[in-house]
Amino acid sequence: MKKLISSLAVCISLSATALTPAYLDDSLPIEDRVEDALSRMTLREKINIIHAQSKFSAPGVPRLGIPEIWCTDGPMGVRPEVLWDEWDQAKWTNDSCTAFPSLTALAATWNPDMAELYGKSIGAEARFRNKSVILGPGINIYRTPLNGRNFEYMGEDPYLISQMVVPYVHGVQSNGVAACVKHFALNNNEVNRHTSNPIVDDRTLYEIYLPGFRAAAQEGEAWSFMGGYNLFRGEHASYNPILMNQILKGEWDWDGAVISDWGAVHDTKTAVSGGLDMEFGSWTNGLTNGQSNAYDNYFLADPYYNGIVDGTYSTDELDDKVRRVLRLTFRTAMDRNRPFGAMGSDEHVAACREVGEEGVVLLQNRGDILPIDLSKVNKIAVIGENAIKMMTVGGGSSSLKARYEVTPLDGLRNRVGDKAEIIYARGYVGDPTGEYNGVVTGQNLDDPRSPEELRDEAIKIARDADVVLFFGGLNKSNHQDCEDTDRESMALPYGQDELIEALAAANPNLCVINISGTGVAMPWTDKVPAIMQAWYLGNETGNALASLLTGDVNPSGKLPYTYYASLDQVGAHKLGEYPGHPGVDELGNEVFDMPYNEGIFVGYRFTDKNKLKPTFPFGHGLSYTTFDYGKASINKTEGTADDTFTVTVPVTNSGNREGKEIVQLYISDLKSSVDRPVKELKGFKKVSLAPGETTDVTFEIKRDALSFFDADRHEWICEPGSFEALVGSSSADIRSKVRFNIKNSK
């Protein structure tokens, strides 16, 4: 009897194995599973999985047990749930997330380990909410400080972005959740964002605007990309054949899925041929627009299906799209080994705080105003709306329902306790609201007093304090740091400049803490001894800032972009190209042509070339200790472009506090056949040193650090000649340099 039962069990097992479709067998290579699933799908099922069925989901193939794909906004936290067909809140009670610092703050850490921790943490929260795709990170270049979405991006330098985006993507995808790298490409402004048509030469495209995306695709192996709203060479980015087919899927040999931005698709024919794989959000409400089910009328839905049936389109493009969507599904929703994730965990709170503390930049500290010595201070004046305003809500699609948010004032009170008296004054009223898309902070910041009354109160308490902390800057309202609008100027809003100058006159011990996601004009820098760039830091904003202001943590962030004194220092504005020139395309549609005539000279490349002095340079950031650089050395002074040059510089903590220094390597081509930047970032390392400790920081220089893109030959070229490796603490603070020569290689 036992033998009979055993034989039956073996037969059942073998039979089950034989009946299991290959696409469900996760022991097989993904490509085998994709092809098997594709062969079993009907035309209608293929069409269904490449367009939305709701605001944030695509249907999968229920007949075959292939699950839905669920996306979520999430460059800085997992967005709260909305209704099936509408932007209105679903009013869940369990969808509060950890709000992480802005991606500008992450970039300011200059620490790839922080990027991986950030990605891993936010990916775990998306996984816990059973999302397949998180729509981020954003890595578009800071071309102008007025861009409303700069706070969602990683700065102005393609090398820095490349080094930070790869570990971020790896961290997210370690959870079985796809990173969706956006917005590919040239989405550098929000004004006229649906009609902007950047006019960019190939060299500029490849040297400035593509490297971060290339790193995400090839080194990060991102599973999805999102196109932008803008056009490129007359065609929309989300289905631009040059960007999607020629570059992303062709030159970079990328096998992921291209997802449209929500509402970025306008035409079936070009969406079919231009490389788009999944269409989302083409109508705001999926149940109306004159149809019983608008999703079936998306450009890649019934119009595509009918076009295949009547012979307008072949199935070749469709099968490629379906393969990519299936690949995405097998890597995420059908990965039975992916972790379960976690939401709002202690580890995520700690990660939020650690990233924030490492990203804050100490811009100025004359007279050692900071850190605040609580043994010598009796009264601290805290002034400014941003000391009390919650910032996790607002800003567009990155708006979050945070589990909690510690304001700067509360963080200081928690840290200072009874060691000193803290007195608060509003100083100005900016935006007293705290609501976006149905998520509310619960704060009531209405204040009926006049600007003069608020100003007089602030000056009065400032005069009586030992130290004054002004928390100002921007917020996430329209025309500040906010999607769909750009800023109208670099000036601080709400009369803050005048208030800061009055506070400086009232008390010389003033520190301005600027909370923003991008640079602002600071005409008062010579009157204010201490300035800190604080970003949007999420849940732990107040605790992180308190630890930095009191010296519990030594600042170590550095600027990921140039802090301009005025728009005249910005190539896009100096040359009169922003915000574009209105016109019409060949079909009669309105477009805003935007020539990128500054070319490769973006950010510090422009200020270097024109010998301009910004308020603070790219890569700048101070510490409560000091660092001395020794003389740089190189392993050889001559070689071919295929050789590896090694530059070493000793760095010493010459102060009395433990601290972290970001050592930066720039390369200068001393004589070239083409116009090249004065120098370009090609390496950086963040080192932690105890007082008196010295370490040798080493950089490797290879061909890619020396090359420029030759548009005529469509390849990267390293010319023979003389180069310099410059090592410093910022782009304007070069401490040592060495020269080396590249000779002709065979």
DSSP 350-410: HHHHHHHHHH-EEEEEGGG--S--TTT-SEEEEESGGGT---SS-SSTT---BS----HHH
Quote the mean pLDDT of the chain. Answer: 95
Cα 302 to Cα 312: distance, rounded to the nearest angstrom: 13
What tokens appear for 269 in the block? Answer: 């024919």
Whether residues 377 and 483 share a domain: the answer is: yes
Indicate whether 614 belongs to any domain.
no
What pLDDT sits at residue 176? 98
Q: How far apart are CA 656 and CA 530, in angstroms?
A: 20
Beta bridge partners of 666: 681, 726
> Mean pLDDT throughout 168-179?
98
Asked whether residue 26 is domain-assigned, the answer is: no
**Number of structural domains, the chain?**
2
Residue 109 located in a structural domain = no
Per-residue confidence band for 287, with pLDDT thresholds at 50, 70 and 90: low
Has residue 13 got a pLDDT over 50? no
* Beta bridge mates, 435: 440
Q: Are residues 663 and 542 part of one domain? A: no
Indicate whether 181 belongs to any domain: no
Concatenated DSSP letters of 62-83: GGGTBPPEEEEE-SSSPPPPB-
Residues 434 and 536 in one domain: yes
* pLDDT of 200 higher than 50: yes
| Model pLDDT, residue 3 | 53
Residue 543 shares a structural domain with residue 679: no
Tell which of 549, 577, 604 closes a domain.
549
- What band does 14 get if pLDDT is binned at 50, 70 and 90? very low
Residue 74: predicted pLDDT:
85
Is 327 among the domain residues? no
b/e for 635-671, b at 16 or more Cβ within 10 A? eeeebebebebebbbebbbebeeebbbbbbbbbbbee
Q: How far apart are CA 272 and CA 315, in angstroms?
A: 10
CA distance 350 to 547: 13
**CATH code for position 706:** 2.60.40.10
Instruction: Assess whether 488 and 635 both reside in one domain.
Output: no
pLDDT reported for residue 588: 80
Q: What is the pLDDT of residues 306-327, one digit of tens each?
A: 999 999 999 999 999 999 999 9
pLDDT-derived band at 15, boundaries 50, 70, 90: very low
CB contact at 8 A, 518 and 150:
yes
Residue that is last in its domain, among 523, 549, 575: 549
Please tell me whether residues 743 and 659 are part of one structural domain: yes
pLDDT band at 286 (very low <50, low <70, confident <90, very high): low
As a whole number of angstroms, the longest Cα–Cα distance in the chain is: 98
Q: Is residue 227 part of a domain?
A: no
Q: Is the pLDDT of residue 740 over 80?
A: yes
* H or E stretch at 270: helix 268-273
Distance CA 676, CA 668 (A): 8
Q: What is the CATH number of the domain that holds 464?
A: 3.40.50.1700
| Catalytic residue of the set 73, 85, 157, 261 | 261
Overall average pLDDT of the 172-192 stretch = 97
Domain containing 423 equals 360-549
Nearest by Cα to 152 from 261, 35, 1, 56: 261
Task: Look at residues 512, 527, 549 and tell me which one is the last residue of a structural domain.
Answer: 549
**pLDDT tens digits, one per residue of 17-27:** 457 899 999 99
Is 261 noted as a catalytic residue in this protein? yes
From the list 206, 280, 200, 266, the residue with the least C-alpha distance to 236 is 266
CA pair distance 454, 450, nearest whole angstrom = 6
- Sorted by sequence, the CB contacts under 8 Å of residue 23 that are 6+ apart come out as 33, 34, 36, 37, 40, 64, 66, 326, 330
pLDDT score for 655: 97
pLDDT confidence band for 16 (50 / 70 / 90): very low
pLDDT digits (tens, 9 = 90+) for 402-445: 999 999 999 999 999 999 999 999 999 999 999 998 899 999 99
Burial call 732-746: b when 16+ CB within 10 Å, e when fewer: bebbbbbebebeeee
Q: What is the pLDDT of residues 71-127, one digit of tens each?
A: 999 889 999 999 998 888 999 999 999 999 999 999 999 999 999 999 999 999 999
Sign of the torsion formed by the C-alpha atoms of 24, 25, 30 and 32? negative
What proportion of the chain, given as a percentage, has pLDDT over 70?
A: 96
Are 394 and 525 in a shared domain? Answer: yes
Considering the domain architecture, whether residues 463 and 366 belong to the same structural domain is answered as: yes
Reported as a single tens digit per residue, the pLDDT across 358-379 is 999 999 999 989 999 999 999 9
Same domain for 509 and 648, yes or no, is no
Q: 288: pLDDT confidence band, cut at 50, 70 and 90?
A: low
Is 93 contained in some domain? Answer: no
pLDDT-wise least confident of 241-250, 264-273, 284-293, 659-668: 284-293
- Spell out the SS3 assignment of 190-204: CCCCCCEEEECCHHH
| Vertex 279 angle, CA 95 and 79, to 5° | 15
Does some domain include residue 513? yes
